[in-house]
Amino acid sequence: MNGAYADVPGYLLVFPVVYGAVAYFALAMARHLRVFAAAGPSNPFASVPRRAWGLIVYALAQAKMFKDARAGLMHFTIFWGFIALTIGTADIIMGGLIQAVVAWPLDGALWTAVTALQNVAAVGVLLALGYAAWRRLVSRPRRLALTRGALIILGLIGGVVGTELLAMALEAARSGDRAGAVVANALAVPLRGLDPRLLEVGFLTCWWAHIALVAAFICYLPGSKHLHIATSFFNIYLRKLAPRGELPAMDLEAESQTFGVRTIADLGWKDLLDGFTCTECGRCTEACPANATGKSLDPRAMIMGIRHLAVDAERGLNLIPNSPLVRDAYGLDDRLAPAALAVPIVDAAIPYDAVWDCVTCGACVEACPVLIEHVDKIVGLRRNLVLEETRFPPELNGAFRNMEQVGNPWGSPRADRMDWTKDLPFPVPTAAELARAGTLDSLDVLYWVGCAASFDERNRKVARAVATCLSAAGVRFAVLGQEESCTGDPARRMGNEYVFQVLAAGNIETLKRYGMEKRTIITACPHCFNTIGNEYGQLGGTFEIVHHSVYLQGLLAAGRLPIAADGDGPKRAVTLHDSCYLARYNAIVAEPREVLRQLPVIELREMEKRERSTFCCGAGGGRMWMEESRGTRINEERTRQALATGAQAVVTECPFCMTMIRDGLSAAGDRGAGVQAIDLAEVLAASLLAPAAAAGATQTSGPRQG
Amino acid sequence: MQVVVLTKSVPNTTGDEGLGPAFRLDRNAIDPIINPNDEYAIEVALRLAETQPGVQITMLTMGPAAAWPGLSKGLAVGVHNAILVSDPALEGSCALGTANTLAAALRRITFDLILAGADTSDGRAGIVGAAVATLLGIPFITHAGTLAVGNGAVQVRRLRDDGHERLEAPLPAFVSVTQEVGDLRYPSLRGIMGSRSRKPTTWSLGDLGIEPADAGGARATTIVLDVEPPQPRLPARIVAGEPGAVVGEIVEFIAERRIVS
């Protein structure tokens, strides 16, 4: 059976060596899986076609890797090159079976082609490895850590590929060119003059070194960061398919359970798979605005920390599981280390402060090539801290209390909810008024104003601009007025699921009472938009909600908003700050830009970090109500990026972004002087031809609140 | 040790509250909460229970039955028992009437220490605590910042205009506390869920041996003659411009009004 490898003395040794390594690999992986069994349930199996398509996009085409084009190409080359080369190794460990089958038709032309492909792949992989080593050792991008593990992996891959190519070249030098081996044959030319005995020793050394390195590589994998080559396919297939902005549901009545996540046993097993899939590439940490501004949050360290906790829990497990019989007879323990399973994740995998540094902007999730979910885990940790330990930044006491008692985080009286409508030249009816008058059926849309636009002085102007645009387009709209409450987004993202569910249940009931399940709701707040659209479904409220940027763009496209013609004056340069919950969470990036493009007086200057790769303003995840005392301020960093475009105004599409950018501009001193933060609706309202634009929508100076 | 915290049910100041007949609070329009100053007293009691073994905390409230949901937060944060003295005849009670009723309730239970906030956010008389202590004939210390119990006495540290002072009184005693104590802790989810199904022990005037004719508005020692809303606040004046000019304007504004002499 060793026909193809008849010239390799001791060939049969390949089998115990490689299959022994494979057996070790399987047992080590099974040991990882036994920790999974101790974790909570996950159920990521529905929607097989979508999951399979994800494998093609993220695993085979590696779509996310190419955001960093050079690193992406390097990885793509190693991945596909390695697969091509594995054909050769697989042939060796299968006694030449592959070669026999592939070489059978077309007089072996197919095998010749495979050989040629492998030769080219080997060169590609070696070049890519050289680049990878250069990055680790010389250019050293900030996100890459120089670890022993990384160098061992580069060395192993280089060794596996190099020895295979060299063995082929030495063999070609000894026994003549091999069909298709373009690179090996070329390498053989200068070797031909060497002593045949030397060539033979060289060949055998390289050939066996290749086998030894393959076995070593297989054994090294289960405990290394390179395990992703085995796990990432599963992680991608089993990824979260729910909308990214939908946090996991939670049953508050289930009193026997731990609320939120305290230890790895409270995570789902898919969360542990996330840990075993992390390759420490650091894209998450590089993208993290909290990390970029000097805070202790390091998403990569958290994921790896979770993995280390899982590995610690394995300590009590034998590699080969004992049967109960053996356990009874010899008393060998084969259980997970209970102490490791009881270690709180907070402080072990992530510092307490870092849990609260997170703005839940999702930049880490967006950046991760293997689709790890960081934010859901952080919110899980917050849930446990808030609901069980009542440990949270003291500022949140007030925000929680206000949301609970008066239905908004600012603590403003409900009676003030309609104050923003004062002096508007058109009426803004409430749904209750229309219902009383029996004219609710004539409604086109319900405008969900949100707390910020109801109570914050600056954002009230945005509400006026939205209403002005709706009125100018002849849209029949109403608001909920005093019946509106906070959607609960901040409470949920601060871990207070109880307050979220109380608020959400109230809002769902109100919306249903007015039949809003069959109507369109619009809002200028991406957080309200995300929570009503993506999260209320968990509590039985399915609503169609549209962000104002999309709705206004639709009105523009339909010709319902008359825009003032271009004057002779210079264009006003603006930049657009994408909101995380709009752009990254809900993929709305085209419509706000389209609105700006439609305005003849506006010139859009883009920032480098934009659209789905936008950089948070610093207010997400409830950070709006927390002090930012660690590191520098995220909003000032984002404002710096905006000012670098030379824009005269920063267009926002979210009330929190508005507040944060506005603060950032005033903190920027002279550089920010004369630069405005202005909502998309205000830009549009100011360009309207109709006199309705005079409704005060363009005035942006005035007292500030909050 | 038995600690009793007097907790009044007051309207949440959301701007929606209003007055009904006889200038009494329109209870239908409000969202009842625990008087914020009494929350500090609950926090003090909880801290005592954390540092001393065998501390039992009881909340005592006089108010309508509808006050309960707002009071249940006390149980959610760890108060052991709640007593609600509720009787339609109590409506319109003055401060002294309230003190009489609370003292009658306190005589029915054992206590070592009574705690309460310095005053309430609705009535603002700030006298009920002193009256209760007088009726019970026990020492009364006001405005405690921190508090400790030992050797059969309560030791209090309280803020004065010119520093702090330390006071001591033998138990049983009544101590009113201030916000210097610190905010009431946030309830855990288990605490909230556990408190939802619990109901207070409810006593009527009959349980306390008080004749309805001797209580409430009929026997009030004070009556409200009239109320009027405050003058609406004038809009703020915003001074904008160069720092130098702005400072000048502000100084002029202050000097004109002799705010600083």
A625 CB near a chain B CB, below 8 Å? Answer: no
Helices A655-667 and A457-472 pack at an angle, to 10 degrees, of 130
Which residues 491-510 of A have a C-beta within 8 angstroms of B? Answer: 497-498
Residues from chain B that touch A481, judged by Cβ atoms under 8 A, are: none
H-assigned helices in A135-226: 148-175, 182-188, 196-220
Contacts of B259 (CB under 8 A, 6+ apart): none
Count Cβ–Cβ pairs < 8 Å, chain A vs chain B.
48
What is residue A249's DSSP assignment?
P
Range A204-208 contact pairs with CB under 8 angstroms and sequence separation of 24 or more: A204/A8, A204/A9, A206/A163, A206/A164, A206/A166, A206/A167, A206/A170, A207/A8, A207/A163, A207/A167
Question: How much is the average pLDDT of B113-140?
Answer: 93
CB A620 within 8 A of CB A361: yes
pLDDT at A692: 44
Task: Give the contacts of A397 (CB within 8 A, at least 6 positions apart).
Answer: B183, B186
Nearest to B14 among A389, A394, A414 (CB): A414
- Burial class from Cβ neighbours inside 10 Å (0-12, 13-18, 19+) for residue A345 reads buried
Q: Where are the beta strands (DSSP E) in A223-325?
A: none
C-alpha span between A74 and A70 (Å, rounded): 6
Mean pLDDT of B129-146: 96
CA distance A618 to A356: 12
User: Which amino acid, A11?
Assistant: Y
Q: Which amino acid is at B223?
A: I
**Cβ(A636)–Cβ(A569) below 8 Å:** no
Contacts of A174 (CB under 8 A, 6+ apart): A196, A199, A200, A203
Task: Pull the structure tokens for residue A178.
Answer: 């091999």
CA distances from A266 to A383, A390, A392, B124 (A): 12, 18, 20, 48
Q: What is the percent of chain B with per-residue pLDDT over 70, rounded to a whole number? A: 98
Do B15 and A415 make contact, defined as CB atoms within 8 angstroms? yes
The DSSP code for B201 is: E
Instruction: Give how far A430 is from chain B: nearest CA, Å.
Output: 18
**Which segments in chain A show pLDDT lower than 50?**
1-2, 692-706
Q: Using alpha carbons, list the distances in angstroms from residue A702 to A462, A655, A668, B237.
A: 13, 16, 18, 10
Q: What is the pLDDT of residue A293?
A: 97
Tokens of B250: 């502000």
CA gap A18, A24 in Å, rounded: 10
* Cβ separation B186–A397 shorter than 8 A: yes
Which pLDDT belongs to residue A691? 54
Helix or strand run (H / E) with residue A119: helix A109-134
Tokens of B109: 């239970």
Reduced to 3 states (helix: H, G, I; strand: E, B; else coil), residue B146 is strand
Which residue among B14, B183, B192 sits closest to A498, beta carbon to beta carbon?
Answer: B192
Residue A267's CB: how many other CB atoms inside 10 A? 25
Phi, psi of A569 (to 5 degrees): -65, 165
The span from the first CA to the last CA of chain A, in angstroms, equals 80
Asked if B14 lies within 8 A of A255 by C-beta distance, the reply is: no
Tell whether B186 lies on the interface with A, counting CB pairs under 8 A.
yes
ipTM above 0.90, yes or no: no
Contact A255 B193 (CB under 8 A): yes
Strands A676-679 and B9-11: unpaired
Q: What is the pLDDT of residue A20?
A: 96
| Nearest Cβ partner for B186 among A259, A390, A406 | A390
The pair of structure tokens assigned to A275 is 């840990």
Q: Which of A400, A401, A496 to substitute to test the interface with B, most B CBs within 10 Å?
A: A401
Burial class (CB in 10 A: 0-12, 13-18, 19+), A559: exposed
Six-digit token pair at A76?
């793509």
Side chain identity at residue A241, one-letter code: L
The pair of structure tokens assigned to A463 is 């509400």
- In this structure, how many other beta carbons lie within 10 angstroms of the beta carbon of residue A330? 9
Residue with tokens 């080219």: A120
Strand order in the sheet with A544-547: A477-478, A445-448, A520-523, A544-547
Chain B hits for A405, Cβ within 8 Å? 12, 14, 31, 33
SS3 A117: helix
Residue B261: predicted pLDDT: 65
Q: Quickly count: other Cβ atoms within 10 Å of residue A18's Cβ.
A: 19
The answer, yes or no, to whether the previous bond of B172 is cis (omega within 30 of 0) is: yes
Are B16 and A405 within 8 A, CB to CB? no
| Separation of alpha carbons B67 and B85, rounded Å | 11
Distance of CA A425 to the CA centre of its chain: 44
- The pair of structure tokens assigned to A586 is 């809900």
- Answer whether B238 sits within 8 Å of A392, measured CB to CB: no
Tell whether A386 is within 8 A of chain B (Cβ).
yes
Q: How many whole angstroms separate alpha carbon A116 and alpha carbon A622? A: 57
Q: Residues B166-182: what's their mean pLDDT? A: 95
Instruction: Please tell me the distance from the alpha carbon of residue A7 to that of residue B112, in angstroms, as a whole number.
Output: 97
- What's residue A119's pLDDT? 95
How far is B122 from chain A, CA to nearest CA, in Å? 17
Q: What is the maximum span of chain B, computed from C-alpha positions, in angstroms?
A: 72
Classified as helix, coil or strand, B166 is strand
| Confidence class for position B1, pLDDT limits 50, 70, 90 | very high
DSSP B178: -
Chain A residues touching residue B240 (CB < 8 angstroms): 701
Distance of residue B218 Cα from the nearest chain A Cα, in angstroms: 34
Lookup: tokens for A25: 């690999």
- The chain B residue lying nearest A396, using CA atoms, is B186
Most A CBs within 10 A among B9, B13, B14, B46, hence the mutation to make, goes to B14
Residue B100: pLDDT over 80: yes
Structure tokens belonging to residue A221: 């994998």
From the CA atom positions of chain B, what is the Rg in Å?
22
Phi and psi for A256 in degrees, rounded to 5? Answer: -80, -20
In this prediction, residue B110 has a pLDDT band, given cuts at 50, 70 and 90, of very high
List the beta bridge partners of residue B6.
B60
Question: Is A114 within 8 Å of A91 (Cβ atoms)?
Answer: no
Residue with tokens 């190693």: A78
Question: What does the alpha-carbon distance between residue A97 and residue A87 come to, in Å, rounded to a whole number?
Answer: 11
| Interchain contact, B236 vs A703, CB within 8 Å | yes
CA distance B89 to B220: 12
Q: What pLDDT does residue A345 have?
A: 97
What's the CA gap between A291 and A298, in Å, rounded?
6
**Could you tell me which of B13, B17, B6, B232 has the C-alpha nearest to residue B121?**
B13
Interface contact flag, B190 A255, Cβ < 8 Å: yes
Contact A153, A142 (CB under 8 A): no
Range B82-105 average pLDDT: 94
For tokens 């992986």, name the residue.
A29
